């Protein structure tokens, strides 16, 4: 196994923890990136939940508690919107996408003022529930203060999980994305076992999660592996998250190994993982955080040497000042598109807190 505890690696892990802690806002939010203009001032539930999971695994209980308290406050702020979405779905006239909850929030919990973002995304609301439960299980946290926020989130997801929405990459809102289904299913399953919901709601969360798993394992599978969206034959690297850390597809299910292998054969080059084959964002480079997800899935399959190779690759993307980027340009899928993004938003987001958190999370997994 790659020695994850060797000096430079340990320095990167220590730096990652310290960086995330230092950038967490007084409100408890984890900013996506402190410097990248398009992300500055915002926290995503998706990034934040995985950042919290990395920090929880690394033992930063107080930081993670503050983040989940922030999530709960945001959900409460949107109580009326959630109730409206649930009522509209129940009446058979679902709200328009732009009236659903956004994917990212300012640190005080609002939509940005001139926010024209690809906002309707459901995965983060599942992911925060999943990460909250994982944290509570790991550290014995009392979840009773979260009861109302968990219930609101469950109601929202139960009412709307089968709607098309933007995916992890904030694209293709006309599709039903299998990764999104997995995040929502994992979150509902987690909520059902937290012990804070009334019995009827807990049952509904569990039965909806079971229905989602049924859809994922039928409509979400082609040639034995998970696919990017219902109706596609392509894969997306985010699918490996369903095996680990989300555990929505058990590692011993045949679809798990087939999915990891299909993702690797389509998207991994020398340990660096692309998002999907048609990616053009910043020329379609390789994402350290996705190499870490693949590593976690490999570890769940029992392939720890391969998991360690992914960690080593992700760590190799750190800058001289130990900052991890969103992506690197070692093997671009669409080099002709790189400059249009640099012209629009500047150089690739660096540091990206989600990248740092995934290195922490996989490092912990392999340390154990």
The one catalytic residue in 53, 123, 155, 167 is 167
Of 12, 19, 20, 32, the residue at the interface with ligand BGC (CB under 6 A) is: 32
Any contact of residue 133 with ligand BGC (CB under 6 A)? no
Token pair of 311 as six digits: 């960690």
Any contact of residue 119 with ligand BGC (CB under 6 A)? no
| CA distance readout (Å), 111 to 34, 102, 105 | 18, 7, 5
- Catalytic residue list contains 167: yes
Token pair of 104 as six digits: 């990212």
What lies within 8 Å, CB to CB, of 107 at 6+ separation is: 25, 27, 29, 31, 41, 43
Shortest distance, position 202 Cβ to ligand BGC, whole Å: 29
CB-based contact 298:271 (threshold 8 Å): no
Report the helix count and the strand count for the chain, using DSSP H and E.
13, 6
Shortest distance, position 39 Cβ to ligand BGC, whole Å: 5
Of 61, 73, 169, 258, the residue at the interface with ligand BGC (CB under 6 A) is: 169
Any contact of residue 264 with ligand BGC (CB under 6 A)? no
Any contact of residue 228 with ligand BGC (CB under 6 A)? no
- Catalytic residue list contains 174: no
Any contact of residue 170 with ligand BGC (CB under 6 A)? yes
Closest CA to 327 of 291, 363, 365: 291
Chain residue whose CB lies nearest ligand BGC: 32
- Catalytic residue list contains 326: yes
| CA distance readout (Å), 258 to 11, 47, 114, 270 | 35, 26, 43, 19
Of 15, 17, 43, 44, the residue at the interface with ligand BGC (CB under 6 A) is: 44
The one catalytic residue in 170, 236, 264, 309 is 170
Measured from the CB atom, the residue of 124 and 366 that comes closer to ligand BGC is 124
Of 17, 46, 228, 361, the residue at the interface with ligand BGC (CB under 6 A) is: 46
Measured from the CB atom, the residue of 42 and 68 that comes closer to ligand BGC is 42
Any contact of residue 323 with ligand BGC (CB under 6 A)? no
Token pair of 250 as six digits: 């058990």
Shortest distance, position 46 Cβ to ligand BGC, whole Å: 5
Closest CA to 64 of 73, 72, 55: 55
Beta strands in the chain (DSSP E): 42-44, 104-106, 221-222, 225-226, 268-269, 272-273
Any contact of residue 293 with ligand BGC (CB under 6 A)? no
β-pair type (272-273, 268-269):
antiparallel
Shortest distance, position 354 Cβ to ligand BGC, whole Å: 6
Per the listing, tokens 């509209």 go with 88
Shortest distance, position 168 Cβ to ligand BGC, whole Å: 5
Any contact of residue 168 with ligand BGC (CB under 6 A)? yes
Q: Which residues carry out catalysis? A: 167, 170, 326
């Amino acid at each position: 196994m790659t020695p994850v505890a060797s000096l430079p690696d340990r320095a990167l892990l220590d730096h990652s923890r310290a960086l995330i802690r230092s950038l967490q806002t007084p409100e408890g939010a984890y900013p996506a990136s402190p410097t990248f203009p398009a992300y500055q001032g915002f926290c995503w539930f998706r990034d934040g939940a995985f950042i919290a999971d990395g920090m929880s695994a690394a033992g930063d209980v107080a930081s993670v508690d503050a983040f989940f308290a922030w999530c709960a406050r945001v959900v409460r702020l949107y109580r009326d919107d959630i109730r409206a979405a649930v009522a509209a779905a129940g009446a058979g006239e679902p709200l328009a996408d732009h009236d659903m909850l956004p994917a990212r929030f300012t640190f005080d919990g609002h939509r940005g003022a001139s926010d024209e973002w690809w906002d309707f995304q459901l995965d983060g609301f599942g992911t925060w529930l999943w990460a909250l439960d994982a944290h509570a299980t790991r550290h014995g946290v009392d979840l009773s203060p979260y009861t109302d926020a968990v219930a609101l989130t469950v109601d929202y997801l139960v009412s709307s999980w089968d709607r098309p929405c933007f995916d992890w990459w904030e694209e293709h809102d006309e599709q039903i994305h299998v990764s999104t289904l997995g995040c929502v299913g994992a979150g509902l399953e987690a909520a059902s076992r937290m012990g804070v919901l009334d019995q009827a709601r807990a049952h509904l969360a569990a039965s909806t999660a079971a229905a989602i798993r049924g859809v994922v394992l039928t409509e979400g599978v082609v040639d034995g592996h998970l696919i990017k969206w219902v109706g596609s034959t392509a894969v997306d690297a985010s699918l490996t998250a369903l095996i680990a850390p989300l555990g929505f597809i058990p590692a011993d299910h045949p679809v798990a190994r087939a999915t990891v292998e299909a993702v690797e054969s389509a998207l991994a080059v020398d340990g660096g993982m692309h998002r999907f084959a048609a990616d053009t964002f910043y020329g379609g480079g390789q994402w350290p955080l996705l190499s870490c997800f693949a590593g976690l899935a490999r570890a769940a399959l029992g392939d720890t040497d391969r998991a360690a190779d992914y960690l080593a690759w992700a760590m190799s993307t750190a800058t001289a000042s130990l900052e991890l980027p969103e992506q690197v340009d070692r093997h671009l899928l669409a080099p002709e598109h790189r400059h249009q993004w640099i012209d629009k938003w500047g150089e690739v987001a660096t540091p990206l807190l989600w990248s740092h958190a995934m290195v922490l999370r996989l490092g912990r997994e392999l340390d154990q």
